[in-house]
């Protein structure tokens, strides 16, 4: 009996991650994964399970290998505005890296979304929530230290920054002009001062939620 082909699990997982990143979940077939990972489907199933199980492993790998750079920037201990600026600079570096797929894996798959009605949808939602919580924790700590006005809604600001991240990520798939993306980041950063002083409309939705559709 032939011996199963040996492979580096992290290496083939990274290849799968990049393929999901490039094509999304629905646009990636097992045949595609076999070709990208360099192993047969029997080995894929034995090592990772079904396609959805492999995707879950890919999301974890993405978080621990790629997204972690953004979290490290955000939690660097710098003054909060500088930390957020560093976060978006890391994002720009990633979008300008020719060795990486375009955009963000989470964004690319989220647009296939189901609002958390499936296992995969819940995992994507959890990743977005984790990003929001990281922003919130950094912003709340800065608020306690007096960098942000106590009237500011730091949870809403965190959600806004997550939305901005995914919006830029989607834009990065459509245009090759990183300068245009930097223009968007400059506007985001320019609006932080008003937000931090509690003047932003971030909590307007909370004031008028009763009349929202």
Among 11-25, 111-125, 152-166, 181-195, the least confident range: 111-125
Task: Give the CB-side neighbour count of residue 84, counting CA atoms within 13 A.
Answer: 27
| Percentage, residues of the chain above pLDDT 90 | 69
pLDDT surpassing 90 at residue 159: yes
**What distances in angstroms separate CA 187 from CA 75, 86, 191, one per listed residue?**
22, 15, 6
Judge whether 16 and 54 are in contact, CB under 8 Å. yes
Domains for the chain: give ranges and CATH numbers.
52-200 (1.10.357.10)
Structure tokens given for 57: 């492993």
Judge whether 4 and 35 are in contact, CB under 8 Å. no
Structure tokens given for 190: 């320019």
164-210 pLDDT, tens digit per residue, is 999 999 999 888 888 999 999 999 999 998 899 876 555 554 544 33
Integer Cα distance of 181 and 92 in angstroms: 8
Residue 111: predicted pLDDT:
79
pLDDT surpassing 90 at residue 115: no
Residue 175: predicted pLDDT:
85
For 70-80, what is the mean pLDDT?
Answer: 94
Integer Cα distance of 87 and 64 in angstroms: 16
């Amino acid at each position: 009996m032939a011996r199963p082909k040996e492979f580096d699990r992290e290496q083939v997982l990274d290849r799968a991650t990049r393929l999901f990143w490039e094509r999304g979940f629905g646009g990636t077939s097992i045949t595609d994964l076999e070709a990208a990972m360099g192993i047969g489907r029997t080995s894929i199933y034995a090592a990772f399970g079904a396609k959805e199980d492999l995707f879950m492993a890919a999301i974890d790998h993405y978080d621990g290998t790629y997204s972690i750079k953004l979290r490290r920037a955000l939690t660097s201990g710098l003054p909060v505005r500088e930390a957020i600026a560093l976060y978006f600079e890391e994002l720009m570096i990633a979008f300008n890296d020719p060795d990486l797929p375009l955009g963000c894996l989470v964004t690319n798959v989220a647009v296939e979304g189901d609002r958390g009605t499936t296992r995969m949808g819940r995992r994507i939602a959890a990743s977005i929530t984790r990003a929001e919580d990281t922003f919130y924790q950094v912003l709340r700590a800065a608020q306690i230290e007096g960098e942000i006005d106590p009237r500011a809604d730091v949870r809403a600001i965190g959600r806004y920054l997550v939305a901005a991240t995914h919006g830029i990520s989607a834009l990065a798939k459509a245009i090759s002009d990183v300068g245009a993306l930097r223009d968007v980041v400059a506007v985001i950063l320019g609006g932080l001062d008003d937000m931090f002083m509690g003047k932003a409309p971030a909590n307007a939705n909370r004031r008028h939620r009763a009349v929202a559709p």
